[in-house]
Amino acid sequence: MELLRFATAGSVDDGKSTLIGRLLYDSKAIFEDQLEAVERTSRDRGDEYTNLALLTDGLRAEREQGITIDVAYRYFSTPKRKFVIADTPGHIQYTRNMVTGASTADLALILVDARKGVLEQSRRHAFLASLLGIPHLVVCVNKMDLVDWSRERFEEIKAEFRAFAMKLEVRDLSFVPISALHGDNVVTRSANSPWYEGAPLLHHLEEVHIASDRNLIDARLPVQLVIRPQHQTDHELHDYRGYAGTVAGGVLKPGDQVVVLPSGFTSTIAAIDGPDGKPVEEAFSPMAVTVRLTDDIDVSRGDMICRDRNRPHVGQDLEAMVCWLTADSALRPGAKLAIKHTTRWGRALVKDLQYRLDVNTLHRDEAAPALELNEIGRVRLRTTVPLFFDEYRRNRTTGSFILVDETTNNTVGAGMILGPTDVP
Amino acid sequence: MPVAYELSHLQTLEAEAIHIIREVAAEFERPVLLFSGGKDSAVMLHVAVKAFAPAKLPFPVMHVDTGHNFPEVIEYRDRRVAELGLRLVVASVQDAIDAGKVVEETGPRASRNRLQTVPLLDAIEQHRFDAVFGGGRRDEEKARAKERVFSFRDEFGQWDPKNQRPELWNLYNGRHRQGEHIRVFPLSNWTELDIWQYIAAEQVPLPSIYFAHRRRVFERDGMWLAESEHVTLLPGEEVVEKMVRYRTVGDATITGAVESTASTPEEIVAETAVTRLTERGATRGDDRISEAGMEDRKREGYF
Ligand SMILES: Nc1nc2c(ncn2[C@@H]2O[C@H](COP(=O)(O)OP(=O)(O)O)[C@@H](O)[C@H]2O)c(=O)[nH]1
């Protein structure tokens, strides 16, 4: 059984909570005691029906204010797949939350209210999904019951959304007409939409092909730590030296010629140990493994093992799209921050802010002096240590980094690498 | 090896947990792993041991001991510690009571669950632990559903749910000042069913009370509680013998058993797949107190 991670996006009142509640309820991920608590709260609030949206409400602050404040995770499974939902709220802090919740998503689910159509916010959600490199996008046109299940309305929204998505990098885009409140086309096909030929939403989530979304071409192993048992009596263990890490791309096999960066030393993979200590014939992303080499060379945390003939960029100057995540400060040229990329920490200097992107219109403002909270722009960075990176669109693991404020230790920026600076 | 390069959900979850545990070992000076003998901590320990094999676990484990234990659980704890050659730190609620740091609750429904926070934070301070692994899962409870994998705690051990660090990709930020620490939850994305499937697949050893056994119990608040020296029966409560098993293991005075005949992990997987109550709702008196019970305790520094 495979695991699918998806993120939900929608403006306030589009029905996101209701839809998630519906998915959990209909897939039987809701337990009786949880349902009772929700029924009780619904009654106390004077709702006419059990408000499934309450199932996804988390903290006290939200209960008091009636809003969701951050990213929350939900789980359900069907006989076909296990699902992890990153549920992100749709108000002002939206960009920060969606970037946080959706960075590892395989799929983004965007809600559109059938009455309101494609809003500025829907465009923003689609843009963020494409910026984050989420391979699959599903647009749920919700509240179809309120537009009399009008096929014309559905087609109109579809056409409008498609026209906008053309400008983005979206590999796989689909549309489902639903009513989250009544459950139409969520788990089972609805009799209200005989004209709809696609699958109900859950079926789509179960079937969408995700295995080939991973990079299986460029072998990359960022070293997390060196495993040395240094056993006193057992000779084999005494000499054991393994490089532990999570495969970030490609396929690694015993016998492969590899190079270790930054030293440039080459060697051959002697063996790969899986998490059970047993030998693994092929290691691929996201397996956690320990690699042993035939030569005794100097390798430490932050190094990268890759194939001799397929190396990442190595350098201290790079360009990236950065999303700024804090209200405490702004990103300005000249700023110095800590940077974490794969298993490497360094410091980064912001050389230049090339433009700030308007996430609603995609307009580039080259005169922008800084990036504030929730703003996204293209920046040029210089780092204190060389990084071993790929373009984000080629590899989401070796192409991403975080920026950390050195005084507060807070994570303040999320970066997606476009390439080394000298490339146009 | 599959030609399609696919991992099962359990392999994916295990790989994610190992990645997290290794990051902590590499970036922190003094990590510790909370080991209560409960199934989640048993799975977490199992995964942690795999993360460093064939080397030994490079950090100690800690038990916050309420003194209200099931003897089977303490026996299991000590056995695992011996088998794996671990260093065990015990933070004792009884000691905290004796030292006057916390006050024992009174009455028939008294429990020591909430009292665990003080000895836990004291031990963290005393041993200068900078990273504390917990077996918490996001599917357990609503407040946990929002908590990060790396959860920052200030110098008072407090959690601020409104001010959490964004967490992106698999790039964890463990930076902190002296006196602050990070709680780390490698099993965040596991569900109860995943835990049982993993226990079955990996043959993770567990305390015997997780499997069906005959026990003298009485009914209180809709749960089967074990007869023990630490609880006083209320009028009308009557002890009977039943086939039961535990779904969670906490303070013996408030942890309820469920009726069951499941005696192997596989049988428990089958039961869990069709169960209609959450494990906390079914068996944890402490979480029933209020809807916001867990969130309040977590803010104070609880697990
Ligand atoms: N008629 C109708 N109402 C809906 C539907 N989905 C959600 N709603 C209602 O729209 C309102 C907002 O829904 P909610 O799930 O809280 O929206 P969220 O802010 O996106 O999470 C609630 O009153 C829902 O009952 C739908 O498919 N049809």
Share of chain A above pLDDT 90, in %: 67
For residue A342, how far is its CA from the centre of ligand 1 (angstroms)?
A: 40
Task: Select from A13, A38, A145 the residue to mutate for testing ligand 1; criterion: most ligand atoms less than 8 Å from CB.
Answer: A13
Q: Residue A216's closest chain B neighbor by CA?
A: B5
Question: Of all helices (H) and strands (E), which one includes residue B286?
Answer: helix B285-288
Find out whether A222 and A245 touch, Cβ atoms under 8 Å.
yes
pLDDT at position A29: 62
A167–chain B nearest CA distance, Å: 25
pLDDT at position A404: 98
End-to-end alpha carbon distance in chain A: 43
Instruction: State whether A75 and B191 contact (CB < 8 Å).
Output: yes
Task: Give the residue among A244, A101, A325, A99 at the shortest CA–CA distance from B24.
Answer: A244
Instruction: State whether B173 and A411 contact (CB < 8 Å).
Output: yes
Share of chain B above pLDDT 70, in %: 88
Structure tokens at A27: 């897939």
pLDDT at position B230: 75
> Residue A258's pLDDT band (boundaries 50, 70, 90)?
very high
Question: Above 80 in pLDDT, residue B121?
Answer: yes
> Residue B94's pLDDT band (boundaries 50, 70, 90)?
confident
Per CB-CB distance under 8 Å, the chain B contacts of A325 are 166
> Residue B43's pLDDT band (boundaries 50, 70, 90)?
very high
Mean pLDDT of chain B: 85
Q: Is A304 a pocket residue for ligand 1 (Cβ < 6 Å)? A: no
Question: Above 70 in pLDDT, residue B30?
Answer: yes
Q: Higher confidence at residue B12 or residue B232?
A: B12
> Residue B155's pLDDT band (boundaries 50, 70, 90)?
confident
Considering only CA atoms, which residue is closest to atom 8 of ligand 1? A15
A211–chain B nearest CA distance, Å: 6
- Least confident segment among A260-274, B13-27, B221-235: B221-235
> Residue B189's pLDDT band (boundaries 50, 70, 90)?
very high
Q: Higher confidence at residue B157 or residue A299?
A: A299
Instruction: State whether A414 and B166 contact (CB < 8 Å).
Output: yes
ipTM of this predicted structure: 0.91
Question: Above 50 in pLDDT, residue B2?
Answer: no
CA distance B126 to A158: 61
Q: Sign of dihedral through CA atoms A358, A101, A108, A86?
A: negative
- Least confident segment among A16-20, A241-245, B37-41: A16-20
Considering only CA atoms, which residue is closest to atom 28 of ligand 1? A143
pLDDT at position B162: 76
Question: Above 80 in pLDDT, residue A229?
Answer: yes
- Least confident segment among A228-237, A289-298, B51-60: A228-237
Helix axes B71-84, B39-52, angle to 10 degrees: 0
> How large is the average pLDDT for residues B2-25?
90
Q: What b/e string do you get for B90-129 counting C-beta neighbours within 10 Å, with b at 16 or more?
A: ebbbeebbeeeebeeeeeeebbbbbbbbbbbbbbbeeeeb
Q: Is A179 a pocket residue for ligand 1 (Cβ < 6 Å)? A: yes
Q: How far is Cα of residue B124 from the mean position of the Cα atoms in its chain?
A: 17
Per CB-CB distance under 8 Å, the chain A contacts of B194 are 82
pLDDT digits (tens, 9 = 90+) for A180-208: 999 999 999 999 999 999 999 999 999 99
Question: Of all helices (H) and strands (E), which one includes residue B242?
Answer: strand B240-246
B278–chain A nearest CA distance, Å: 6
Instruction: State whether B189 and A216 contact (CB < 8 Å).
Output: no
Q: Is A62 a pocket residue for ligand 1 (Cβ < 6 Å)? A: no
Of A32, A214, A225, the CB nearest to B277: A32
Of A73, A230, A343, the CB nearest to B138: A73
CA distance B247 to B46: 19
Per CB-CB distance under 8 Å, the chain B contacts of A410 are 165
Per CB-CB distance under 8 Å, the chain A contacts of B191 are 75, 77, 82
> How large is the average pLDDT for residues B233-241?
85
For residue B264, how far is its CA from the centre of ligand 1 (angstroms)?
A: 44
Cα distances (Å, whole numbers) of residue A130 to A41, A107, A164, A354, B4 = 38, 10, 12, 20, 26
> How large is the average pLDDT for residues A16-27?
85
For residue A110, how far is its CA from the centre of ligand 1 (angstroms)?
A: 14
B187–chain A nearest CA distance, Å: 13
Of B8, B22, B47, the CB nearest to A1: B8
Find out whether A27 and A77 touch, Cβ atoms under 8 Å.
yes
Q: Please list the residues that pair with B90 across neighbouring strands.
A: B63
> Residue B229's pLDDT band (boundaries 50, 70, 90)?
confident
Instruction: State whether B146 and A229 contact (CB < 8 Å).
Output: no
Q: Residue A56's closest chain B neighbor by CA?
A: B142
Mutate to test the interface with A, among B59, B139, B171 (most CBs of A within 10 A): B171
pLDDT at position A355: 97
Share of chain A above pLDDT 70, in %: 88
Per CB-CB distance under 8 Å, the chain B contacts of A341 are 171
pLDDT digits (tens, 9 = 90+) for A31-68: 666 667 667 776 777 766 666 666 665 444 554 554 44
Task: Select from A22, A87, A181, A187 the residue to mutate for testing ligand 1; criterion: most ligand atoms less than 8 Å from CB.
Answer: A181
> How large is the average pLDDT for residues B116-140?
90
CA distance A364 to B39: 53
- Pick the atom of ligand 1 nearest to A10's CA: 20
Mutate to test the interface with A, among B11, B142, B162 (most CBs of A within 10 A): B142
pLDDT digits (tens, 9 = 90+) for A322-349: 999 999 999 999 999 999 999 999 999 9
For residue A107, how far is its CA from the centre of ligand 1 (angstroms)?
A: 22
- Least confident segment among B31-35, B48-52, B251-255: B251-255
Mean pLDDT of chain A: 89
Mutate to test the interface with B, among A231, A251, A397, A409 (most CBs of B within 10 A): A409
pLDDT at position B288: 45
pLDDT digits (tens, 9 = 90+) for A348-395: 999 999 999 998 888 999 999 999 999 999 999 999 999 999 999 999
Find out whether B158 and B179 touch, Cβ atoms under 8 Å.
no
Instruction: State whether B276 and A32 contact (CB < 8 Å).
Output: yes
pLDDT at position A34: 63
pLDDT at position A235: 72
For residue A14, how far is its CA from the centre of ligand 1 (angstroms)?
A: 6
Per CB-CB distance under 8 Å, the chain A contacts of B22 are 224-225, 244-245, 288
pLDDT at position B110: 66
pLDDT digits (tens, 9 = 90+) for B269-292: 888 776 656 655 555 555 444 445
Question: Above 80 in pLDDT, residue A23?
Answer: yes
Cα distances (Å, whole numbers) of residue A171 to A153, A155, A192, B201, B211 = 24, 20, 30, 36, 48
- Pick the atom of ligand 1 nearest to A53's CA: 15
